[in-house]
Amino acid sequence: DAKTTQPNSMESNEEEPVHLPCNHSTISGTDYIHWYRQLPSQGPEYVIHGLTSNVNNRMASLAIAEDRKSSTLILHRATLRDAAVYYCILRDVSGGTSYGKLTFGQGTILTVHP
């Protein structure tokens, strides 16, 4: 399975935008880029996913590089509630051994300062 690389930690101030990077240089054409986050003392929750085009939803935006070797999760105005571990995950839709699996990497710990 293609791997992702994320910074161990990032910090932000409340109400400022946050850009969380993810590198996935060995991504294949059938890999979707998914983001989940895990708030303290909670299970992970889905944030957003995309394939090639940039994506927006009520939680965040996902910017995908033209060569798809990297992506950035954008939180437009960070709140204290956004403090969490953010996981960038590749999911191969072509089948194989990764079918149905969600393989978490180490993720980025986001700290939001008041």
Partner 1 sequence: DTEVTQTPKHLVMGMTNKKSLKCEQHMGHRAMYWYKQKAKKPPELMFVYSYEKLSINESVPSRFSPECPNSSLLNLHLHALQPEDSALYLCASSQELGFGETQYFGPGTRLLVL
Residues that bind partner 1 (CB under 8 A): 32, 34, 38, 41-46, 49, 85, 87, 91-95, 98-107
Backbone angles phi, psi at 19, to 5 degrees: -115, 110
The token pair that represents 65 in the structure block:
């590089």
Please say which residue, 32 or 72, places its beta carbon nearer to partner 1.
32
Question: Position 84: which residue type?
Answer: A
Instruction: Give whichever of 14 and 49 is closer to partner 1, judged by the CB atom.
Output: 49
Contact 103, 1 (CB under 8 A): yes
**CB-CB contact of 111 with 12 (8 Å):** yes
* Comparison of 14 and 32: residue with beta carbon closer to partner 1: 32
Nearest distance, CB of residue 16 and partner 1, angstroms:
26
Nearer to partner 1, 18 or 33 (CB): 33
| Residue 33: C-alpha distances to residues 39, 52, 81, 111 (Å) | 20, 9, 23, 23
CB of 43 to partner 1, least distance (A): 3
Smallest separation, CB 108 to partner 1 (Å): 11
In single-letter form, the type of residue at position 67 comes to D
Smallest gap from Cβ 106 to partner 1, in A, equals 6
